[in-house]
Amino acid sequence: MQIGEVASRTELSLRTIRHYEETGLVVPSARSQGGFRLYTEADVARLMVIRRMKPLGFTLDQMRDLLDATDRLDAGTDLDADEREALLERVRTYQQAAAEQVDKLRVQLARAEDFEGTLRTRLTRTEDVTPRHV
């Protein structure tokens, strides 16, 4: 698929997808005869991993590291037990960091919802006592 369809499916801008290409996080699987970038479902899945990591505060280097680990685990190549365990430990580390960030975001969301509710209550009280001009 071309970059426009990928952008639509991933809800990422064309500019962002190109940036991820420039940084080596996602490389189009092919190019058309006209030079257009062509992406596969695997490329879209990779972009979705990046998209999910971004709001959790992961850096581009961390994204690259995690993708490298998962690529190697998924490649099906012969990994010795120590190498496989080291890769799994890298993935576990990112999973734990993601869980910590999710917990922090839950706290922030609860505070934001409380704040919004306070404002809503205040507006309701104020609107109930304020005379309306017709």
DSSP for 75-106 reads T-----HHHHHHHHHHHHHHHHHHHHHHHHHH
* Residues, the chain: 134
pLDDT tens for each residue of 53-64: 999 999 999 999
The pTM assigned to this predicted structure is: 0.80
pLDDT tens for each residue of 1-14: 999 999 999 999 99
Residue 132: pLDDT over 70: no
Neighbouring residues of 55: CB distance < 8 A, sequence distance ≥ 6: 105
Span between the terminal Cα atoms of the chain, in Å: 57
